[in-house]
Amino acid sequence: MVFFLCRSRCQKRVGYLTWDEYFMATAFLSAQRSKDPRTQVGACIVSEDNKIVGIGYNGMPIGCSDDVMPWGRDSHDVLETKQLYVCHAELNAVLNKNAADVKNCRIYVALFPCNECAKVVIQSGIREVIYYSDKYAAKDEFKASRRLLNIAGIKLRQFQPERKQIVIDFGSIEPRQDVANQITGMTISQTPSVN
């Protein structure tokens, strides 16, 4: 029985996340922190040696209450829309970096960066943008973004997921009951009795 447990538990697990899946999932997970009722975007900056050095999501600037700032997208008064106030995920990821700089890093984002975020990416020294969706490609600010990034020599790559979803199961850390019983049974039977 010991051989069986070791044999099944001592081999490398298959089906684990690729680096791209891991970092894009991190961007998607950070997007869940956004208070934006319509669009939640996350970004994850990664160093050349696959270390996360920055994470961000779209939200209001620090010190500006989410409860008093406008979250609408359409209004006759532009001052009552979110566009003039929200910090995008890419900007927050760069500003919240935990490294001296992000030169030669890559950034994973849910949406292709707008022109303002493209400027931040270029100025910060990021060398590659991996994006999930380019659904706004026909809009001028995204055409300008692509133009800026191309002229600056930033590598652009659309993320092609190998799986449809990644599930986070908080219960997975608990041992399976059948394995726990086998291990407990082995421990008890192999423990010498003390008289």
Domain 17-173 = CATH 2.40.128.120: no
How high is the pLDDT of residue 192?
Answer: 46
Tell me the per-residue pLDDT of 27-71, one tens digit each, with 9 for 90 and over.
999 999 999 999 999 999 999 999 999 999 999 999 999 899 888
What pLDDT, in 10s, does the model give residues 151-183? 999 999 999 998 989 998 888 888 766 555 555
Question: Whole-model pTM above 0.75?
Answer: yes
CA distance 2 to 159: 43
- The one catalytic residue in 21, 48, 90, 128 is 90
- For every residue of 105-172, DSSP letters joined together read -EEEEEE---HHHHHHHHHHT--EEEEEE-TTTTSHHHHHHHHHHHHTT-EEEE---SSS-----GGG
Q: What is the pLDDT of residues 97-156, one digit of tens each?
A: 999 999 999 999 999 999 999 999 999 999 999 999 999 999 999 999 999 999 999 999
**59-91 burial code (b ≥16 CB/10 A, e <16):** bbeeeeeeeeebbeeeeeeeeebbeeebbbbbb
Identify the three-state secondary structure at position 177: helix
Q: Domain spans of the chain?
A: 17-173
Has 174 been annotated as catalytic? no
